[in-house]
Chains A and B, each alone.
Chain A
Amino acid sequence: MSQPIFSTRVLVLMAIGIALNMALGQLVSLLKLPVFLDSLGTMLVAVLCGPWIGGLTGLVTNLLWGLIQGPTVAFFAPVAAVIGIVAGLLARAGLFRTPIGAAASGAIIAVTLAFIAVPIRIYLFGGVTGSGADFLIAYLTKVGQDLVGSVIVTVITANLADKIVTALLVWGIIRGLPQRTASDWPFLAHSRD
């Protein structure tokens, strides 16, 4: 019988990552923190298992979330996939070895996801989504910025702090993993000794 692409252990970790993405939003609102942390599970899986598995974790998170919370989230599933893929590639490049590298990874992810989020936001939502960030878009368009430019600035601004905090938390989590657990995830060798 052929070996499955994902081992059962990887599959279980993906399920845990998806559940973390969904559950941590509640935790953050409980602490009244100005971040979402809805991609912590995705980044974590990407750093432990690699870019493609991380990307799939992000994609399934948003599709499943769309089924239970509201379809709007599902439209942004490609963005969640890109977060996982980019996090995995940055982990492979060794950026999750240090806190500075992890923070830089968060910033790179925030900028990269804009390339996918902006076309979806503009084509489907006309650049706005009915959130508080629309005020920034309205302001930027009024001071002369075009719609695409305004949406890019808004998406990056809204995500920068969140993705940097998320990446730093992932760095902290993997750094403190017991060696026995760490040895279960060969891809983690790119991010810690």
Chain B
Amino acid sequence: MLYRSGVSALHRTGPLTKLALVLLAATMLPIWPAPVLLAAAGLALAAGALCRIGWAMARRLAMLLVPVGLALFVVHGFMLENGPARPLGPLDYYPQGLARALTYFARIALLLTVSLLMVMTTRVNDLARALDQKGLPPAAAYLLTAPLNLVDGIADEAAAIRDSLQVRGLAARSGLRARVRLLGAMLMPLVRGMISEAGTRAEALEARGFRALPHRSLLDPLTETPAEVRLRMGLLLASGAQLLVLAL
């Protein structure tokens, strides 16, 4: 999980407000030049540092951005013909290609930084609660939270099936063909069992009154200050304005 616990202002901000911030960043991409996008990404990283997730964010960003950045500058700067070439030692490079690579890099950097800022300060459960609170049907919250509860169970069950198959002679260190056989032998009972269980799980949910009403009321609703609601509206309006500029 990318979430880092904390008590910062951003941790306390509602998930929907942070989603509006991601939307604002996404609508900036086609409009603003690379320096503006990079400056905005820098601001987002600084906000992360203020929320005490700066190092974790920077590490994650480096992991994601360094390989993409290298690939972008090599492919666009040196390999794809883009305007007139200039010599750089034994190689030729394309200044226009490098400028294009910088634009792509800035777009990715901004979107990743702002998305990470949201993801690292928001629990999936809180997002589900916020959606519930806004009147989305219980099914939406279920689809966001149930898979996370199921993943560990699937991994444990797969490990148990693997162990039992290995006891019977199927080894993961064998050749490719044997490993493909092992994969099939592990997957078939695991997945068939889960499909068969779907009916039982659904009955258990219905027995608890899941979806008995179109909307659920929350025992511990997320609280929002009027300032936060205004901030979210502002972010949405700014996103709308940028889309309008793009359309014109």
Binding site for B on A (CB under 8 A): 1, 4, 6-9, 11-16, 18-20, 22-24, 26-28, 30-33, 40, 44, 48, 60-61, 64, 66-72, 74-75, 124-131, 134, 137-138, 141-142, 146-147, 165, 169, 172-173, 176-178, 181, 184
Interface digits, B70-95 against A, CB 8 Å rule (1 contact, 0 not)? Answer: 11101110011000000000000000
Is B23 among interface residues, defined by CB-CB distance under 8 A?
no
Is B192 among interface residues, defined by CB-CB distance under 8 A?
yes
Among residues of B, the one whose C-beta sits closest to the C-beta of A11 is B139
* A contacts with B: majority SS: helix
Is B154 among interface residues, defined by CB-CB distance under 8 A?
yes
Give the shortest distance, in Å, between A150 (CB) and chain B (any CB).
9
Contact assessment for B143 and A138 in the assembled complex, using a CB-CB cutoff below 8 Å: no
**Separation of A127 and B184 alpha carbons in the complex (Å):** 34
**Separation of A137 and B176 alpha carbons in the complex (Å):** 27
**Separation of A181 and B214 alpha carbons in the complex (Å):** 29
Give the shortest distance, in Å, between B76 (CB) and chain A (any CB).
6
Interface digits, B150-181 against A, CB 8 Å rule (1 contact, 0 not)? Answer: 11001100100010000000001000100110
Contact assessment for A19 and B150 in the assembled complex, using a CB-CB cutoff below 8 Å: yes
Contact assessment for A64 and B68 in the assembled complex, using a CB-CB cutoff below 8 Å: no
* B contacts with A: majority SS: helix
Selecting from B36-44, B201-209, B223-231, B234-242, the interface stretch reads B201-209
Residues of A within 8 A of B244 (CB): none
Contact assessment for B75 and A70 in the assembled complex, using a CB-CB cutoff below 8 Å: no
How many A-B residue pairs lie within 8 Å, measured between CB atoms?
Answer: 187
Contact assessment for A8 and B202 in the assembled complex, using a CB-CB cutoff below 8 Å: yes
Interface residues on B, range: 35 or more
Contact assessment for B71 and A6 in the assembled complex, using a CB-CB cutoff below 8 Å: no
Given known contacts A15-B142, A70-B60, A141 and B147 CB-to-CB distance under 8 angstroms: no
11 contacts between A and B (CB under 8 A): A8-B211, A16-B197, A40-B187, A68-B148, A124-B104, A125-B104, A126-B72, A130-B70, A137-B75, A169-B184, A181-B195
Contact assessment for A173 and B75 in the assembled complex, using a CB-CB cutoff below 8 Å: no
Given known contacts A6-B139, A14-B143, A128 and B68 CB-to-CB distance under 8 angstroms: yes
**Separation of A122 and B232 alpha carbons in the complex (Å):** 31
Given known contacts A12-B205, A177-B195, A130 and B151 CB-to-CB distance under 8 angstroms: no
